[in-house]
Amino acid sequence: MTARHEQVADDLRRLITAGTFAVGDRLPPETRLAGRYGVSTPTLRDALEVLRAEGLIAKFQGRGNFVRQPSERLTYPNSAIALRTTTSSADTTATGGVAKRLGTPEGAPLTEYVCLSHRDDLPQILTHVYVPRAASPLTAASPWGDDLVIATGAPVTTSNDQVTARFPTTAEAQSLRISTRTPVLAIERTFATADGRPVAYALLVLPGDRAEVALAIPIDSDQEAQQ
């Protein structure tokens, strides 16, 4: 059975799609919407959170909820959208999942690069790149972490990528200026040499309402013919 807040979100989505509420329109106050649908204010706010996560509305403190113009989504791994990326770095050590991804012992010295990419003034991508501790600082940075890995001089030939949809950590939400209830795409990239040796690891976090993943996967026609 569909949850009540999802039913409310479905109807508001229908009204927005139909143009009853146009881009730039302010939605009725939350108390009025709750009464209209016969739900509690917390249930109504859950419905609005669904629409905010989809990029259909935006909430402005003291002003209310407004229908927003859907923005062009970033497409991983190839996007034509121009981004401004700032980078910081710090010495760290391999722990937990990072150590496992890099195949290094706990405590191995690493350099962590943190890249935050903006479109206009809005954060779009938070990237953490981990490489063996470099003798000199690296400055090259792309939103996807490729440039930093290449700048190390490591003979990288493959990137094994894993994409997960989840909610952001508090720190990720603060960096990206989103709610902790806004889903994100977490892309884990392990860069390896031709013999499969991992040399770098990157974690990309993208707000789910602003990003998508599009992959071109080759198909073996001979294998297809045999099946």
Report pLDDT digits (tens) over 12-55.
999 999 999 999 999 999 999 999 999 999 999 999 988 887 77
Supply the pLDDT for residue 111. 93
33 and 133 within one domain: no
Supply the pLDDT for residue 72. 81
Is the pLDDT at 194 greater than 60? The verdict is yes
The average confidence (pLDDT) of the chain is 89
Q: Which domain holds residue 8?
A: 4-67
Q: pLDDT grade, residue 225 (50/70/90)? A: low
190 and 141 within one domain: yes
Supply the pLDDT for residue 49. 87
Is the pLDDT at 114 greater than 80? The verdict is yes
205 and 113 within one domain: yes
Q: What is the mean pLDDT of residues 101-125?
A: 93
Q: Are 144 and 123 in contact (CB under 8 A)?
A: no
Query: Which residue in this structure is represented by tokens 């479109």?
Result: 119
185 and 115 within one domain: yes
> For the CA atoms of 11, 13, 17, 23, what is the dihedral angle to 10 degrees?
120
Within-domain flag for 225: no
50 and 127 within one domain: no
Supply the pLDDT for residue 52. 84
206 and 140 within one domain: yes
Within-domain flag for 224: no
Q: What is the mean pLDDT of residues 90-100?
A: 95
Considering 18, 42, 67, which residue would you say is the last residue of a domain? 67
Q: What is the mean pLDDT of residues 79-97?
A: 91
Number of structural domains in the chain:
2
Within-domain flag for 218: no
Supply the pLDDT for residue 224. 55
Q: Which residues pair with residue 147 across a beta bridge?
A: none
Q: pLDDT grade, residue 217 (50/70/90)? A: confident
86 and 184 within one domain: yes
Q: pLDDT grade, residue 93 (50/70/90)? A: very high
81 and 63 within one domain: no
Weakest mean pLDDT among 70-79, 102-111, 186-195: 70-79
Is the pLDDT at 166 greater than 90? The verdict is yes
Say which CATH number the domain at 16 has: 1.10.10.10
191-195 LR contacts (CB < 8 Å, sep 24+): 191/149, 191/154, 191/156, 191/158, 191/159, 192/156, 192/157, 192/158, 192/159, 192/160, 193/154, 193/155, 193/156, 193/157, 194/155, 194/157, 194/158
Say which CATH number the domain at 107 has: 3.40.1410.10
Considering 26, 50, 67, which residue would you say is the last residue of a domain? 67
Considering 67, 82, 112, which residue would you say is the last residue of a domain? 67
Report how far residue 79's alpha carbon sits from residue 76's, in angstroms, rounded to the nearest whole number.
6
pLDDT, tens digit, for every residue of 115-135?
999 988 889 999 999 999 876
124 and 44 within one domain: no
Within-domain flag for 167: yes
